[in-house]
Structure 1
Amino acid sequence: MKKVVIASVAAVLLSFGAVTVAGPGNASTEPQQATGQIIVKFRDNGAAAGVLRQHSLSEGAGVGSTGAHVVKVPAGQESSLIEALSRNPAVEYAEPDEVVTATTSDQYFPRQYALQNTGQSFTNTASTLTVAGGTADADVDAVEAWSVTTGNGVKVAVLDSGVATDNADISPKVVLRANFSGAATNEDNYGHGTHVAGIVAASSNNTVGVAGTCPGCTILAGKVLNDSGVGSSSSLANGINWAVANGAKVINMSIGVRASRNLETAINNAWSKGVVLVAAAGNGGNQTKIYPAAYPNVIAVAATDNKDAKASFSTYGASWVDIAAPGVNVYSTFPNHTFVLGTQNSRSFGYDVGNGTSMSSPIVAATAALAFSSHPGATNASVRASVESTADKISGTGTFWAYGRVNADKAVR
């Protein structure tokens, strides 16, 4: 296990994005629609051009494998055109292209425990901070799992804000990049995607930085959030389709959006192709569903702390949240250039902590990848069953989440 380097210590509350909540006592805001575009699916594509012409519109780009198209519309007329098109029998559905945001509520508590925690305290010499270990059983037993497998090249798609090219602990693990966000480049100038990717697959045993939960995994970096941390449901659906086409066994989505039939179609298509999909349950501190986590073919992940208790900010509800994983004070990689989350929250270049179900989701995604690696011939259904059925039934199981807190060691055996 590598040493964790912390250049600075801060306790900053972060709120960004439409469906996220900064923490206790802060109400979430309503998700927003992408301006100037909607998603339309026709029952008969031959009728599309004629129907759209009636509204002075033209057919736009397809959305992955869903059969729907993004249609450009005058700003301010999105809702009225959705209503008008929905009344046409040739239209299967018309819906907003919802804004997608990262689901991180970032409150700094200086403890590292997620992968292995023996309950000890230690002094971080970089920041002269004494760090308490917490409860020994609050970790996911990743180190024990590595005696079975470290992932062996299993591809995990991280659909997020990109992965920084200048952090040597995670950038070499990226085997393919794509940009669906509308940003000028696929560089991660927001920071969220780099942090999530490091939780999945940062290099281990190289004496610097952090170790990923699945250090042998590789990353498909699909940039679906722009440099402000905002994307659309269509960009996410396109990212899902791209990930499937390029061999992802697991897709992680530490993002939140309102329900979308188009997005659900992309999710279901990916599941039918044998992919495990994992998403953050959100940081509302309530039971309100967010998507894609709430879709049946997605593993919805809540957050726990270093005492194996539900994180105060975590969304919950055993009727739809499947599993939990550490999401408080999770150390991981950040860009080594100026990035938005670093500027907003005094996060250090290279390495620092993040808090939120955004951090919990990639731990579960990486565990699924480890399970794929350790079970030859496994299917997405069998891997999901392995991950869920072997979770530790901590306090809150059956109330806050259905199965428990993930245990990587048990999942791979």
Structure 2
Amino acid sequence: MQTRFRPLGRSALAAPMVAVPLLLGACDDRPLPIEPAGELASVAGVAPSTVRTAGGDLVTGDAAAFAQALAEIGPEGEVLVWLKEAGTPGPSPEFLINLPGSGAETIALPAETPGAKRRNNLGPASIRGASVQAVVRALGEAGVDDPRPMQALPVMSVRLREPVRLAALRVLLRHPNVDYVSAVRSQAIEFTGLPTGLNAEDTRHTVHDVLSAWDITRGSGVKIGIMDSGLARVAATGNFHEDALFTTSTFGNYGVVGMGFVDDECGSTPASTGSCIPYDDRGHGSIMAGLAGANDNDLGSVGIAPFATTYSMKISWNTYIRGYCGSYPWDESTSCLEGDDFIRAIDYAAINRFHVLSMSFWLQKTNSDDYRALSTAYNTYGVFLVAATGNTVGGAAQYPAAYDVVMGVGGVDAAGNNLYSTAARDVSGYYFGRSLNPTCYKTSYCDAGSPGLYGNFTGSSIATATVAGVVGLVRAAHPTETPAQIWQRITATAEGTNKVVKANAAINWVRP
């Protein structure tokens, strides 16, 4: 069967790019219930002293005062024990309070005679371990059983349980190897997930709250399939587009893998082996692959899931170059899909356990073979399926998005307004994005250019590839969940009338 293949991307002008810090959660950081005493007091002599400031700082040599303040901060009683460094002067309360920072300090400081020369207790780093162990032994004798020395810094973290807290503090304040003890606090933190390279993020990243999700995962270990027109190469060298090269890093293998499944290019070569990788002959497939998984480097715009392995699966051929299908002879705007190529690509995704399969097109004709292949991939092999509902406002979804095992994606603007088929969608994605932009000619393959070319595009194609990348992030964060459970996460956290997908919310959603 030959089917007219209608890609759903459109060219557009550039959209403004927005980068904003994203707040993830908040922790209780209650101020200490200490009455302010105005200006800093001075430490006189060697008697234990207490310094309080209007800002809530406390520096004290009194173990009982520090223990009381520690109980107010939190029940865990966790502290950092800083050790003396050879040849450094003992810190004063003023010095500790004036260290850069914005939070209140709560510190236990051993008293020293003013002007006394600092003893060289710890010696060089090569023999420091013995002095560290001396503090560990002293804490053990006081009933503290789990001090955790750091590897490089002269500090250890210690949890001072209530029954032994006061006794342990008195030991620490008397120990010759202890510089000071600092209370550990919980505080709010802002994560600002951004590309690690010099890529620009665009509005699709912020609309779908992708930057926050990147603080949790960037898709490492996930396989994303992009069924489309292929992946562009540089005509002069035959190499893939620079932004889609498959690479290896500390995050594992990632990038874009070009695969061919069409008979006209591959002939008798088994497409599933990956040995036949035809050029992109439209440019559409290169754009979609870049939207979902473009590498995080210094080229163009980073993909939604840059550390995933994205498979560019060529399933269609350009009618101007390879002939015509149906009633569209030599129509350069139309591509064709043969039924066996479509099924072969679905089979490859199933047997290789792809986490998501993206279809940024609609089929003029479809049949039970298509449905059976897609439903088997979804229900038996755990492949999450997404497809574009079409570039129309309202109306019924096109196939394959209309199948019940496929998540239909409509397009919206940055405010979530209906643009493309959102009346018939399951969810919506941002309709605009910057991606790979190969130059195509009527009778030749698309040229990726060198260096790579980039452009801005619009349509429900873009929305679908973007949502596919989001699904990849969610599946990376929840690798044991079924497609049905991932579907529930995404739809339960989608926002607004048109159900705009939100990556971070879907990842962090707690199932009732």
Aligned pairs for 1:35-46 within 5 A: 38=1
State yes or no: 1:174 paired with 2:256.
Answer: yes
2:8 to 80, 103, 126: 103
For residue 385 of structure 1, report the CA deviation from its aligned partner. 1.2
CA RMSD of aligned residues (A): 2.9
Give the SS at the match of 2:243.
Answer: coil
Task: Supply the AA of the counterpart residue of 1:190.
Answer: R
2:292 to 200, 207, 232: 200
For residue 259 of structure 1, report the CA deviation from its aligned partner. 3.6
Task: Supply the AA of the counterpart residue of 2:315.
Answer: V
Can you give the 5+ residue segments of structure 1 that lack an aligned partner in the other structure? 1-37, 39-96, 119-132
Kept after mapping to 1: 8 A contact 2:208/2:502: yes
Residue 223 of structure 2 aligns with which residue?
155
State yes or no: 1:411 paired with 2:506.
Answer: yes
For residue 107 of structure 1, report the CA deviation from its aligned partner. 4.3
Kept after mapping to 2: 8 A contact 1:181/1:231: no
Q: 1:180 to 1:327 in 2, by over 3 A?
A: same
1:388 to 491, 494, 507: 491
Compare relative contact order (CA 8 Å, sep 6+) and give the higher one, 1 or 2: 1
Kept after mapping to 2: 8 A contact 1:301/1:321: yes
2:385 to 231, 252, 277: 277
> Separation in 2 of the partners of 1:244 and 1:168?
28
For residue 144 of structure 1, report the CA deviation from its aligned partner. 1.0
> Separation in 2 of the partners of 1:109 and 1:194?
18
Task: Supply the AA of the counterpart residue of 1:108.
Answer: A
Residue 332 of structure 1 aligns with which residue?
435
Task: Supply the AA of the counterpart residue of 2:224.
Answer: V
Kept after mapping to 2: 8 A contact 1:164/1:171: no
Kept after mapping to 2: 8 A contact 1:303/1:357: yes
Kept after mapping to 1: 8 A contact 2:353/2:382: no
Give the SS at the match of 1:182.
Answer: helix
Kept after mapping to 1: 8 A contact 2:219/2:473: yes
Kept after mapping to 2: 8 A contact 1:252/1:279: yes
Residue 241 of structure 1 aligns with which residue?
347
Task: Supply the AA of the counterpart residue of 2:397.
Answer: K
2:336 to 230, 241, 266: 230
> Separation in 2 of the partners of 1:178 and 1:355?
25
Task: Supply the AA of the counterpart residue of 2:372.
Answer: T
> Separation in 2 of the partners of 1:392 and 1:186?
39
What CA deviation, in whole Å up to 9, does each residue of 1:65-92 have, x standing for no partner?
xxxxxxxxxxxxxxxxxxxxxxxxxxxx
> Separation in 1 of the partners of 2:245 and 2:338?
25
Kept after mapping to 1: 8 A contact 2:8/2:391: yes
> Separation in 2 of the partners of 1:219 and 1:137?
18
For residue 406 of structure 1, report the CA deviation from its aligned partner. 0.7
Kept after mapping to 1: 8 A contact 2:422/2:428: no
Residue 356 of structure 2 aligns with which residue?
250
Q: 1:386 to 1:168 in 2, by over 3 A?
A: same
Give the SS at the match of 2:414.
Answer: coil
Residue 405 of structure 2 aligns with which residue?
297
For residue 355 of structure 1, report the CA deviation from its aligned partner. 1.0
What CA deviation, in whole Å up to 9, does each residue of 1:286-331 have, x standing for no partner?
31331110100000000011332122xx1232xx410001113x10
Report sequence identity in percent: 25
2:416 to 302, 305, 308: 308
For residue 137 of structure 1, report the CA deviation from its aligned partner. 10
Task: Supply the AA of the counterpart residue of 1:188.
Answer: D
Task: Supply the AA of the counterpart residue of 1:325.
Answer: G
Residue 219 of structure 1 aligns with which residue?
310
For residue 103 of structure 1, report the CA deviation from its aligned partner. 1.8
> Separation in 2 of the partners of 1:339 and 1:152?
35
Kept after mapping to 2: 8 A contact 1:302/1:323: yes
> Separation in 1 of the partners of 2:494 and 2:291?
19
- Structure 1 ranges of 4+ moved more than 3 A: 115-118, 337-344
1:369 to 472, 495, 500: 472
Residue 92 of structure 1 aligns with which residue?
none
TM-score for the superposition, normalised by structure 1: 0.63
Question: Which sits farther off after the overlay, 183-192 or 353-362?
Answer: 183-192
Kept after mapping to 1: 8 A contact 2:218/2:307: yes
Give the SS at the match of 2:225.
Answer: strand
> Separation in 2 of the partners of 1:171 and 1:164?
11
Aligned pairs for 1:347-366 within 5 A: 350-366=453-469
Kept after mapping to 2: 8 A contact 1:163/1:194: yes
Q: 1:175 to 1:359 in 2, by over 3 A?
A: same
Residue 300 of structure 2 aligns with which residue?
209
Kept after mapping to 2: 8 A contact 1:195/1:333: yes
Give the SS at the match of 2:259.
Answer: strand
Give the SS at the match of 1:274.
Answer: coil
Q: 1:192 to 1:407 in 2, by over 3 A?
A: same
> Separation in 2 of the partners of 1:323 and 1:407?
10
> Separation in 1 of the partners of 2:458 and 2:210?
19
Kept after mapping to 1: 8 A contact 2:412/2:422: no
Q: 1:176 to 1:191 in 2, by over 3 A?
A: closer
Give the SS at the match of 1:169.
Answer: helix
> Separation in 1 of the partners of 2:442 and 2:417?
30
Q: 1:98 to 1:321 in 2, by over 3 A?
A: same
What CA deviation, in whole Å up to 9, does each residue of 1:317-359 have, x standing for no partner?
2xx410001113x101123x54569999xx9962101111000
For residue 226 of structure 1, report the CA deviation from its aligned partner. 1.1
Task: Supply the AA of the counterpart residue of 1:296.
Answer: D
For residue 138 of structure 1, report the CA deviation from its aligned partner. 6.6
Give the SS at the match of 2:317.
Answer: coil
Task: Supply the AA of the counterpart residue of 1:358.
Answer: S
Q: 1:302 to 1:176 in 2, by over 3 A?
A: same
What CA deviation, in whole Å up to 9, does each residue of 1:243-291 have, x standing for no partner?
2122311100001013421111111011121110000111022313311
TM-score for the superposition, normalised by structure 2: 0.51
State yes or no: 1:186 paired with 2:278.
Answer: yes
Q: 1:181 to 1:156 in 2, by over 3 A?
A: farther
Can you give the 5+ residue segments of structure 2 that lack an aligned partner in the other structure? 22-201, 234-239, 247-254, 267-276, 320-334
Kept after mapping to 1: 8 A contact 2:389/2:421: yes
